[in-house]
Amino acid sequence: MSGRTRRIFFDQTQNERGRLDSTYSQLADLLKENGFRVESYKEYMILPRKLREADVIVFGCPNSSKLRPSEIDTIKKYVREGGNLMLLSLSGGDRGLMNNMSQISKDFGIIFENTAVKDTRNNAGVPTMPIIRDLTSHPLTEGVTDLVIPASCTLRTTKDAKVIAKTSEVADPASQPVIAIAEHGKGRVICVGSYEIFRSGGLKNEGNAVFAVNAFRWLCGTEATVKPSEVAKTPGKTIAATTAQVARSEVKEIDTTLKRLIDTIFNIQKGMDDLTKRITHIDDSIESLRDQFQQFAEKTQEQLGLVIPAKQFKRPEENRADAIRSDILSLEKEISSIQQLREHIEERHESGAMPRETYEEQVAKLDGRIKNLERRIKKKKKELDKIEAEASS
């Protein structure tokens, strides 16, 4: 890359997941090897005088953090005046990550949507690691035949933006943008649905590495095409070989999360059972007080001739019936939630993403829990029928 060294700032003020010292360390090395200078931006707030020092500023998936209105205005002005911007998100978009990047990107005709891309046919091991082959001819995609973009959201674009990459026709969502660009004033913008495109695992795919260099060269206005050999520093860069390790890691992490979720369900239920016992004790105390008030009201009315609304409370059996109905509704909702979790585990097993042993263990736990809840519902319905029968007799 000829001319002066281009400076790229990676923002770290918004709790970004893409960090030069960890998740983006290989990206940092790749960019340095190709003549870029990379730095972390850590100054609060984002100020115009600091941004003017950068050729590109990157927001690599802000997590549970929102830019202030004045910072958004600063970034937009920076682009208009010739600065360049890269925004990277993750599945769920702004809503899922609780950030507000679309408040910046919408001025350039791009919105990060609340979606999660899955492709059961075209993927690098699991549906959430789609292989993207629908690429627009552009300097960004020179030398790129495919991209692996894990855990991506989709983008909504207007005529002010240009779509660079889309999901396949069989993906969910189908044929939707995951990479888009815009030129605004004197500056350029790239938006990507997942910051994981540049994580260490993503860069093992040759197309991702080539795209990374192309993208920053285009942003800096030095978009001479890059040959794959320039960025492929290690052998064995095919998708099948290079993403297998990442896929296994993803699967293990998901399985661990599912196990924790199931264990949490049982722990919560244990706490609910203890709470139910305490509530029952309180209910008994309230009923005792209600009986005492009833006796007091009747004696007062008899002695003084006053009418006290002793019947202002429901009868004990009426309160008990209402409580049982509420319990039945809660138990039915819990069954519905567990069934949804079971269906998710079933899908993962059928797709080959979950080992049979793990699948059988988790399903057995959930089925046991469902049967237990069904028995409790049956018992409560019998109790409710008995109360209603006594009330009508």
- The boundaries of every CATH 3.40.50.880 domain in the chain are 6-235
**322 pLDDT more than 50:** yes
Tokens of 383: 């109790």
Q: With 80 as the cut, is the pLDDT of residue 282 above it?
A: no
Per-residue pLDDT tens over the stretch 115-168: 999 999 999 989 999 999 999 999 999 999 999 999 999 999 999 999 999 999
Dump pLDDT digits (tens) for 305-318: 655 554 455 566 67
Cβ atoms 135, 141 nearer than 8 A: yes
| pLDDT-based confidence at residue 304 (cuts at 50, 70, 90) | low
Fold of 6-235: Rossmann fold (3.40.50)
pLDDT at 235: 37
pLDDT tens digits, one per residue of 262-277: 666 666 666 666 676 6
Using only C-alpha atoms, what is the Rg of the chain?
Answer: 30
Confidence of residue 237 (pLDDT cuts 50, 70, 90): very low
Quick check: 357 and 294 in contact, CB under 8 A?
no
* pLDDT surpasses 70 at 51: yes
Contacts of 316 (CB under 8 A, 6+ apart): 287, 290
pLDDT at 307: 57
Whether the CB-CB separation of 196 and 180 falls below 8 Å is answered with no
List residues bridging with 134 in a β-sheet: 166
Residue 114's pLDDT band, with cuts at 50, 70 and 90, is very high
Give the strand order in the sheet containing 84-88. Answer: 36-41, 6-11, 56-60, 84-88, 187-192, 177-184, 162-166, 134-135
